[in-house]
Amino acid sequence: MNRTSRHVGGIAVLLVVLVSSIAVLVYLDSGSNSLEIRFVPDHLNTVPSEVGWFLIEIDTVGPLPDLTISIDANTSIETDYEFWEQTLLLEVFVYPNSSHIDHCIEIEATLSSGGVTTRDTAKLDVLNWSAAELPPVVEMRDVFVDFLSAQHAEFGVNDTVSWTPIYNGAGVLVVGHYLFRSDQWEMSVSWHVTIQPHDWAQTYLRHRSVLQPSWAGKIESWGSENHTVYEINTPETIYRAG
């Protein structure tokens, strides 16, 4: 190979190295700024004076500098959110009133960080529907709480925990649903609206900082005198009416 050929070859190798380095830097830079969000679920039903409780999964690479969160709706309605920074989970709460009956409300979440902005939307149907009576459901919840207190003390769920009930069965027949929210936990209580021995009751428990439930249990027949709690397979996702 003559001197000219060697010189041209050296330039070619140098260009390949430079292009490869630039590609890696661009990839790393784009990865560090990636930001995507997803409503879970993207639709649910509720009734006036109750709460639409959504989760938002945040997918990112690297930290989220100067993160801003905005929750908007296509109508005048109260909203709120809780951001779990360590696990990158966002909970969104929507509070319809009687003026929203028979309305489908579109909720938009906007997150911005490091010069990147992303959005996702969900829908909340406010139905003209009567919520199930709460006292029997509280009794079911308390049986599950007693079991957890005795058998799974690691959760810290016991009779000292304060719960806020949220109706979760709008538009659903045959099976009733309530959610109970504490500072740290979501407990779902569901029951089969039928007679013994098919009137089961079951629950799942989700720490509010994560997407998936971590425990589930079932009572074979609520109407019987036997309220033994059996542990069952934990569902992979939360439940919301809709």
pLDDT digits (tens, 9 = 90+) for 14-29: 323 333 443 333 333 4
CA gyration radius, the chain: 25
Domain ranges of the chain: 1-32, 35-126, 135-231
pLDDT digits (tens, 9 = 90+) for 145-155: 999 999 999 99
pLDDT at position 7 is 39
pLDDT at position 19 is 34
pLDDT digits (tens, 9 = 90+) for 157-201: 999 999 999 999 999 999 999 999 999 999 999 999 999 999 999
pLDDT at position 169 is 98
Do 80 and 44 contact (CB within 8 A), yes or no? no
List the 175-181 sheet strands across, edge first: 164-167, 175-181, 185-192, 201-207, 215-219, 229-231
Q: How far is CA 173 from CA 53, 126, 140, 165, 168, in A?
A: 20, 16, 19, 19, 12
Do 234 and 214 contact (CB within 8 A), yes or no? yes
The structure tokens listed for 125 are: 């149907």
Mean pLDDT of 36-48: 98
Using CA of residue 189, residue 194, residue 198, residue 199, what is the dihedral sign?
positive
CATH class of 35-126: mainly beta
Residue 12 clears pLDDT 90, i.e. is over it:
no
pLDDT at position 32 is 52
Average pLDDT value over all residues in the chain: 89
Provide the percentage of residues in the chain whose pLDDT is more than 90. 84
- How far is residue 203's CA from residue 168's CA, in Å, rounded to a whole number? 13
13 pLDDT tier (thresholds 50, 70, 90)? very low
pLDDT digits (tens, 9 = 90+) for 62-92: 899 999 999 999 999 999 999 999 999 999 9
Q: Spell out a b/e string for 207-223, using b for 16 or more CB atoms within 10 Å of the CB, else e.
A: bbbebebebbbbbbbbe
pLDDT at position 62 is 86
The residue among 218, 210, 207 whose CA lies nearest residue 157 is 207
Burial of 170 (0-12, 13-18, 19+ CB in 10 A): buried
Burial of 86 (0-12, 13-18, 19+ CB in 10 A): exposed
